[in-house]
Amino acid sequence: MVGLNRPEKRNAFNDELILGIEKVFENLPPSIRCVVIYGIGDHFSAGLDLSELKERNAVQGIHHSRMWHRALDKVQFGTAPVIAVLHGAVVGGGLELAAACHIRVSEPSTFYALPEGQRGIFVGGGASVRLPKLIGVARMTDMMLTGRVYKAEEGERIGLAQYLVESGKGLTKGKELAQKIAKNAEMTNYALMHVLPRIADASQTEGLMLESLMAAIAQSSPEAKQRLNDFLEGRAKKVGQ
Ligand code: 1HE
């Protein structure tokens, strides 16, 4: 469990908080098989700490954005799948962090926005790459041009979250999913975290070849052989059990 703990500023990301995220995810102990990340207080995150933007010039701006990219790459391409449990504001950089996670669970209080458009800036934490993969370029453009806010139910419908659960049940759901994920074969989780997004970025011919290579590696692992035998000999659960 990783908690964003700056509730007095609605978990707005100053440099310290984003560097803290980077540090946590680059140093995950190998025994950690899945991570749940959530916001302490009434919100997941209000995004970038805007007070830090006042004095920054263009060169500093690039370095700052690249620091976010580094940190959120550690989340997406780390050693364990990450589940974001969302409530309250999931805006700006908060949505960028959520988009870097592998699964998003939302509560009814969740709302999503990209206020960068209204603040006269642009996204810088990876949203232009990751968000269109969740909701499409048109929806992201609309969110930034018009300041549109998606509420929890709509957010789940358009793909910002995969789950919408009752108020106060987000962490329970997140932990339940994490327990399932932690029981998967290591190679399957690795393929989903590291190979699937590369296939999604590749051309069809390259993607299909990457898929074949990954499939061959995964099926040849001793863990896969054991699991296949378990099913064939009636020891494994059927689908839906
Ligand atoms: C902040 C921030 C922040 C709150 N930076 N200080 N993000 C935004 O444009 C979102 C701005 N925040 C809000 O719209 C609201 O704060 C919320 C809807 C998220 C929450 O409202 P509320 O009523 O619960 O809290 P509040 O009273 O607005 O805020 C409490 C304190 O947090 C207050 O400071 P205080 O000293 O007066 O107590 C706020 O100023 C402070 N606070 N949000 C700085 N974001 C990699 S690039 C990403 C680019 C972006 O993320 S842009 C989007 C920025």
Ligand 1 atom with the shortest distance to the CA of 65: 46
Give the containing element (helix H, strand E) for 36.
Answer: strand 35-39
Q: What domains are there in the chain, each with its CATH number?
A: 2-182 (3.90.226.10), 186-232 (1.10.12.10)
Pocket flag, ligand 1, residue 6 (CB < 6 Å): no
Residues 6+ apart with CB under 8 A from 74: 21, 22, 25, 26
Question: Rounded to an integer, what distance in angstroms lies between the CA atom of residue 74 and that of residue 56?
Answer: 25
* Tokens coding 173: 């759901």
Query: What ipTM was predicted for this assembly?
Result: 0.98
Question: Rounded to an integer, what distance in angstroms lies between the CA atom of residue 84 and that of residue 100?
Answer: 9
Provide the 3-class DSSP secondary structure of residue 113. strand
Ligand 1 atom with the shortest distance to the CA of 68: 46
239: buried, middle or exposed (CB in 10 Å: 19+, 13-18, 0-12)?
A: exposed
Q: In this structure, is the dihedral angle defined by the CA atoms of residues 141, 143, 145 and 148, taken in order, positive or negative?
A: positive
Residue 50: the pLDDT is 94
pLDDT in tens, 107-142: 999 999 999 999 999 999 999 999 999 999 999 999
Residue 241: the pLDDT is 84
Residue 100: the pLDDT is 98
Average pLDDT score, the chain:
97
pTM of the model: 0.97
Pocket flag, ligand 1, residue 134 (CB < 6 Å): no
With a cut of 90, say whether residue 54 has pLDDT above it: no
96, 186, 223, 233: the active-site residue: 96
User: Which is more confidently placed, 9 or 52?
Assistant: 9
In the residue annotation, 116 being an active-site residue is answered as: yes
Q: How far is the CA of 194 from the centre of ligand 1 (A)?
A: 33
116, 176, 223, 233: the active-site residue: 116
Q: For every residue of 125-194, which 3-state class applies, written as one string?
A: CCHHHHHHHHHCHHHHHHHHHHCCCEEHHHHHHHCCCCEECCCCCHHHHHHHHHHHHHCCCHHHHHHHHH
Pocket flag, ligand 1, residue 12 (CB < 6 Å): yes
Pocket flag, ligand 1, residue 119 (CB < 6 Å): yes
Pocket flag, ligand 1, residue 51 (CB < 6 Å): yes
Strand partners, 82: 35
Pocket flag, ligand 1, residue 116 (CB < 6 Å): yes
Q: For every residue of 183-205, which 3-state class applies, written as one string?
A: CCCHHHHHHHHHHHHHHHHCCHH
| Best residue for ligand 1 mutational test, from 50, 51, 66 (most atoms within 8 Å of Cβ) | 50
- Give the Cα-Cα-Cα angle 74, 173, 9 (nearest 5 degrees): 60
Strand partners, 2: 37
